Amino acid sequence: MCGIVGAVAARPVAEILLEGLRRLEYRGYDSAGMALIADKDIHRLRRAGKVSALADALSTEPLRGHTGIAHTRWATHGKPNEVNAHPHMSGEQLAVVHNGIIENYEPIKAQLIEQGYVFASETDTEVVAHLLDQAIKSGMSLKQAVQNTVSQLEGAFALGVIHKDFPDLLVAARKGSPLVIGVGMGEYFIASDQLALLPVTDRFMFLEDGDIALLTQDQVEIVDKYGQDVQRSISVYEHGISAVDKGEFKHFMLKEIYEQPDVMAQVLEGRIANGHVLEQAFGVDAKHVFDQVKQVQIVACGTSYHAGMVAKYWFEELIGLPCMVEVASEFRYRSVVIREGTLLITLSQSGETADTLAALRDVKSQILASLSICNVPGSSLVRESDLCLMTNAGPEIGVASTKAFTSQLVALLLTCLVIGCRHGLTSEQEKQIVTDLQNLPTLTRTILDLDEPVKAMAEAFAEKHHALFLGRGALYPIALEGALKLKEISYIHAEGYPAGELKHGPLALVDKDMPVVTVAPNNEMLDKLKANLQEVRARGGELFVFAGCEQTLKSEEGMQVIALPACSKLMEPIVYTLPLQLLSYHVAVLKGTDVDQPRNLAKSVTVE
């Protein structure tokens, strides 16, 4: 969630670091700071709040230097204030930036205090600075000090370190938290995300867990967790810089909603041929793995968990394969029973979601194989899984996930099809579903044409404080996702329910001040759902219904209906997601909230 940027170059790097922080704002943060080496001293500047506050401070107190580190912090240990902001220092000698959590910082801190170190902050990070100082004072080089310090730390972390006695050296370390090296011409950079460095390079090295890297203007030296010198390959960033600009749109979220038709086409690209899904797209061992799958276990967090819930309906209804879905933070902390032939599917936009990654590691020895569905090629989840399917959604900057969710749904349906061929799915069925998927980009563009009526509907929510979302079958997880989007960006309390559960509690909340949003496609559950709508109307509730165009549901007093184009049953969860995203977006705009950076949330949750 925090963001790291670092640089060592022949040119001044303060503006490079600042722009890198701006590009990491989407991750969520509460303070920002940087430190540079100049005139044989470390100069540090920190501010609580937005990167703009740091930029304002730099305009009056400019920092100079060719080697430096910078950071955006999301508070875990200690209040979000300037004292706890990074970089942290030990005396005037060295500075450290850190993403992640040091789980054993308390005993280390107690030991350091006994040895005379004084702590200026409440953070776990400051122990790293003092451990490094202690090691260097004992005669170690900066490289040895970092190795020694890292060996004492428990938890997940990425580190950037500078020391005034080594003005041309930047040291980085990674364990469980993402960190990349940007490769320039006579200069090198570090960052927690490639996006931070796109203005200066499109070439990157991805550090492995346990790696320590020493960067100078001329070279990078990397040692692995065993202390052995290693080489990490250089990858070229595949998406244009325009992918991280808003373009004609007011917010990244709206831009990303409108990108979804193209993204769906990108998920399919290279994965289907002659009406069939190409199993090779999942990895070289895909056939061997898929031949042995007897059941599926999906593990994910947040929006990705909702995608997994939809997939459960697909796996079990379409191909009769048992499928369990669980929140990663629960799955990893209970005694799970893994049956023979279990394929573990992990879902994550970033591929660095801490709980999902830990869940994979915890059960890796018990499962048949692991498959990650992810949007970031060099991420930990992708590297540590046996198989992977990249969603190819491009950078998603808005904290509230949109295109990442629908691209995961498309990827999950492809997965269901390729496994289903072993479990009774006929070639004709597969071809029909593939055709439906190929038609999705065109179909979803027609959904986006409904933006104006959805915007008008949103006006009814501007003064509301609560909302209820209803769906049945595979649309129940879509109701959950719709509620999540509304609460994330508009701060309206919203809950999603299976419509059949109304009588079991939620009906008590229904009145004229509780808008009820319903997704009502024209399927076998429609008559049941209509009965649920009548229950709401009988209690004076106001209904907002997204319905299939084939239905007889019409707008009338107490009920607004927007008709969506006809689609096949399997496409319904994807199609009905888009108007809910638009609704949440327009409500948030009306309420004046920070759409792309909602309070208290972060894009990439790399800690528990």
Query: Which entry of 109, 175, 312, 603 is annotated as an active-site residue?
Result: 603
Q: Which helix (H) or strand (E) holds 594?
A: none
User: Catalytic residue at 388?
Assistant: no
Question: Using CA atoms, how far apart are residues 527 and 509, in angstroms rounded to an integer?
Answer: 23
Query: Which entry of 2, 323, 374, 388 is annotated as an active-site residue?
Result: 2
Question: Parallel, antiparallel, or unpaired: how do β-strands 543-548 and 559-564 relate?
Answer: parallel
Tokens representing 380 are 């930990």
CA distances from residue 400 to 28, 110, 483, 581 in whole angstroms, order as listed = 11, 40, 12, 9
Question: Using CA atoms, how far apart are residues 154 and 317, in angstroms rounded to an integer?
Answer: 44
List the end-to-end C-alpha distance of the chain, in Å, as a whole number: 11
Task: Name the residue with tokens 């692995």.
Answer: 224
Question: Using CA atoms, how far apart are residues 67 and 367, in angstroms rounded to an integer?
Answer: 46
Secondary structure of 147-171 in HEC code, one letter for each residue: HHHHHHCCEEEEEEEEECCCCCCEE
User: Catalytic residue at 2?
Assistant: yes
Contact 444, 436 (CB under 8 A): no
82, amino acid identity: E
Tell me the helices (H) and strands (E) count for the chain, helix number first.
20, 27
CA distances from residue 2 to 107, 159, 402, 417, 515 in whole angstroms, order as listed = 24, 11, 21, 38, 36
Question: Using CA atoms, how far apart are residues 161 and 95, in angstroms rounded to an integer?
Answer: 6
CB burial class (10 A; 0-12, 13-18, 19+) of residue 253? buried
Question: Using CA atoms, how far apart are residues 451 and 299, in angstroms rounded to an integer?
Answer: 33
Please report which residue ranges of 24-141 form alpha helices under DSSP H: 51-60, 105-114, 126-137
Please report which residue ranges of 378-493 form alpha helices under DSSP H: 380-384, 403-420, 427-448, 451-458, 476-490
Secondary structure of 480-506 in HEC code, one letter for each residue: HHHHHHHHHHHCCEEEEEEHHHHHHCH
Question: Which strands make up the sheet holding 493-498, listed edge to edge?
Answer: 493-498, 466-471, 516-520, 543-548, 559-564
Residue 580 dihedral angles phi and psi, to the nearest 5°: -70, -35
Question: Using CA atoms, how far apart are residues 297 and 286, in angstroms rounded to an integer?
Answer: 17
Question: Using CA atoms, how far apart are residues 555 and 549, in angstroms rounded to an integer?
Answer: 12
Question: Using CA atoms, how far apart are residues 547 and 457, in angstroms rounded to an integer?
Answer: 14
Closest by CA position to 393, among listed 349, 347, 443 = 349
Please report which residue ranges of 207-342 form alpha helices under DSSP H: 252-258, 260-268, 286-290, 302-313, 319, 328-331
Question: Using CA atoms, how far apart are residues 215 and 189, in angstroms rounded to an integer?
Answer: 8
Closest by CA position to 387, among listed 280, 269, 236 = 280
Coil vs helix vs strand at 462 = coil
Question: Using CA atoms, how far apart are residues 1 and 605, in angstroms rounded to an integer?
Answer: 5
Which residues are annotated as catalytic?
2, 603
